[in-house]
Amino acid sequence: MPKPTKIKLVVLNENTLGYIQPELPNICCVLRASILRGAVFEVLPSSKLISRFDTIRLASKADFEEYRVSFVGYEGSGEYEYDRG
């Protein structure tokens, strides 16, 4: 089975927008966390170890708008995997 080569843009536990690098599949690097949605941190740590209890889904452009993070640079780039639907 080939190893993934794209960076995954994800929503972790429905309260954190982040990305997962292929070489670190158990670490979610945080772009924005929402304490109003249940994140236990807002800025620090800037990454979170993913546990078996966490839920992860691919993020969409709408998620970036919802978390108020610019999607410029991600869309159209071949190095990111995200929900295009």
With respect to residue 17, please indicate whether it lies within any of the assigned structural domains.
Answer: yes
Residue of 61, 58, 77 whose CA lies nearest to 69: 61
With respect to residue 83, please indicate whether it lies within any of the assigned structural domains.
Answer: no
With respect to residue 84, please indicate whether it lies within any of the assigned structural domains.
Answer: no
Domain count, the chain: 1
With respect to residue 73, please indicate whether it lies within any of the assigned structural domains.
Answer: yes
**What's the rounded Cα separation, in Å, for the pair 54 and 68?**
22
With respect to residue 60, please indicate whether it lies within any of the assigned structural domains.
Answer: yes
* Between residues 4 and 35, the one the model is more confident about: 35
Q: Is 63 helix (H, G, I), strand (E, B) or coil?
A: helix
Q: Give the model's pLDDT for residue 42.
A: 59
With respect to residue 59, please indicate whether it lies within any of the assigned structural domains.
Answer: yes
pTM for this prediction? 0.87
Provide the residue range defining the domain that includes 64.
7-77
Q: Give the model's pLDDT for residue 64.
A: 97
With respect to residue 14, please indicate whether it lies within any of the assigned structural domains.
Answer: yes
Specify burial of residue 82 (Cβ count, 10 A radius: 0-12, 13-18, 19+). Answer: buried
* Per-residue pLDDT at 67 exceeds 80: yes
The length of the chain is 85
Over residues 8-62, the pLDDT tens digits come to 999 999 999 999 999 999 999 999 988 878 887 655 568 888 999 999 999 999 9
